[in-house]
Amino acid sequence: MFDALQDRLRDALRRLARQGRLTESEITAGLREIRLALLEADVNLAVVKSFIERVRPKALGSEVLSSLTPVEVLTKIVYDELTDMLGGEGYDPRFRLPPGQAVIMLVGLQGSGKTTTAAKLALRFKSEGRRPLLVAADLSRPAAVEQLHVLGRQVHAEVFTIAGADPVAVAQGGVEHARKQGLTPVIIDTAGRLSIDEALMDELARVKAAVAPLEILLVLDALTGQDALVTAQRFDERLDLTGFILTKMDGDARGGAALSMRAVTGKPIRLAGVGEKVDALDYFHPGRVAGRILGRGDILALVEKVSGAVDEREAQRLEKKLRREKKFDLEDFLTAMRQAKRLGSMSQILSFLPGVKVSDEQLEMGQRELKCFEAIVCSMTPSERRDVRVLNAARRQRIARGSGTSVQQVNRFIKQFQEMQRMAGKLLGGGLPPGAGTRA
């Protein structure tokens, strides 16, 4: 989502870096570029003005003008202000749930992804060791209740509803059921409309009064741009929101709504949907997002993603094998590749790494190559995967036919793999340090 903004900001800072020592006029020109970049990213005009007004005196201060590395100091100032605009360095978006029961109420317009987000949130709580209950209180949209039941089965979370009841009764019944069963938190999926109206707001206000939620989170489609800010303000006026969940943050919108949301409403972004899969819901850390916008990457998020996606038992098995045999084969390669695929797309993984920027064409080519590699390995017999030296011409022709590739592609892959084996053999010859291996 922030690709265009990232490119513009990095270009502006790169041009300043070529100047060496900076003058006041050069910094003013650089700030003008940063201002244009934010406006083109659809950031709210008042937010951009406030941002530049805060950055300007710091950028023109003696610390920057007299520094031996003025652009690094200026980048740090921009980073700090971006972080503050998104919520602040010390802000932790994770939920602080009290002992006993907690109720989380999701609200939003129809089509924002509210029901899917409810299931994603339940899965996130389950991964943190909690036992959530999903309550299907959206009785306005056809099939909304059934959709939540289907999603609940996917994430292995119980779904509560009462046929023929009104939303308030369903919400109250869900909270009472959760109390008896020892389930918490209770996640209530409420009704939405195509636009805000009094009937919708009255219904949501009655649900709020009936269940006294700890959190009222507005689910917003990040692709709607500045309209999301208007929606946020209207919901906040009636319901006193505690925060936002932005969906479709992996889309190609300009990202201005995400950057403006907290500054305009004063309420934080808690989570961001970054894909269609049920596990694609991440906590929104302001400092990490600011770092990614400025090309610093987000190694902490990548580590968390790896920790959540990697099968620990499988990783330990591969590590023990590497320690014992000092080599790996195509069976290990296939296992590692499939573990890596669970992290997400290549573009998502690369976005976490600082300074890495590849074109869409390069990404597409890399994805095609990985699919090709997997097809080749899957077309081999177990004995061939364990020792590629048995692959004579006839076997390679069979593998090419089975994988839908050419013999030349099979030969190239085997050559690359053997080179990888040789390099790994040199590294493994010295032994693996504790905790190394496939998890690294």
CA atoms within 13 A on the CB side of 195: 2
Planar angle of CA 158, 108, 238, nearest 5 degrees: 115
Tens-place pLDDT, residues 111-159: 888 999 999 999 999 988 999 999 999 998 878 999 999 999 999 999 9
Residue 105, beta-bridge partner list:
188, 216
Q: How far is CA 104 from the centre of its chain?
A: 21
| CA proximity to 23, closest of 80, 70, 78, 75 | 70
Is 294 in contact with 355 (CB distance < 8 Å)?
no
Q: Packing angle between helix 45-59 and helix 256-265, nearest 10 degrees?
A: 90
Q: State the Cα–Cα distance between residues 137 and 125, nearest whole angstrom.
A: 20
pLDDT of residue 206: 95
Q: Which residues of 94-124 are buried (b: 16+ CB within 10 A; e: fewer)?
A: ebebeeebbbbbbbbbbebbbbbbbbbbbbb
pLDDT of residue 114: 93
The bridge status of strand 215-221 relative to strand 103-107 is parallel
Confidence of residue 65 (pLDDT cuts 50, 70, 90): low
Per the model's pLDDT, the better-predicted residue between 396 and 427 turns out to be 396
Is pLDDT above 90 for 227? no
pLDDT of residue 1: 61
Name the token pair of 153: 């089965």
Q: Which residues of 372-402 are buried (b: 16+ CB within 10 A; e: fewer)?
A: bbbbbbebbeeebbeebeebeeeebebbbee
Give percent above pLDDT 90 in the chain.
30
Tell me the average pLDDT of the chain: 82
Name the token pair of 242: 């505690």
Name the token pair of 263: 């500054």
Side by side, the strands of the sheet bearing 281-283 are 158-160, 133-136, 186-189, 103-107, 215-221, 243-247, 269-273, 281-283
Which range has highest mean pLDDT (132-141, 298-307, 412-421)? 132-141
Note the pTM of the prediction, 2 decimals.
0.69
pLDDT of residue 305: 52
The domains of the chain, with CATH numbers, are 3-86 (1.20.120.140), 103-296 (3.40.50.300), 305-428 (1.10.260.30)
User: Any idea what DSSP says for residue 389?
Assistant: G
Three-state secondary structure of 195-246: CCCHHHHHHHHHHHHHHCCCEEEEEEEHHHCCHHHHHHHHHHHHHCCCEEEE
Per the model's pLDDT, the better-predicted residue between 377 and 344 turns out to be 377
Q: State the Cα–Cα distance between residues 265 and 235, nearest whole angstrom.
A: 11
Using CB atoms within 10 A of its CB, is residue 168 exposed (0-12), middle (13-18) or buried (19+)? middle
Average pLDDT over residues 177-186: 94
Torsion over CA: 129, 130, 136, 137 (sign): negative
Q: State the Cα–Cα distance between residues 431 and 418, nearest whole angstrom.
A: 20
- In the numeric block, the tokens 């870096």 are attached to 17
Is 159 in contact with 134 (CB distance < 8 Å)?
yes
Is pLDDT above 70 for 342? no
Name the strand (E) or helix (H) holding 136: strand 133-136
Is pLDDT above 70 for 400? yes
pLDDT of residue 363: 66
Which range has highest mean pLDDT (192-196, 295-299, 394-398)? 394-398
Say what the alpha-carbon torsion angle 352, 353, 355, 361 is, to the nearest 10 degrees.
-80
Is pLDDT above 90 for 183? yes
Q: State the Cα–Cα distance between residues 390 and 112, nearest whole angstrom.
A: 55
Query: How many other CB atoms are found less than 10 A from the CB of residue 144?
Result: 21
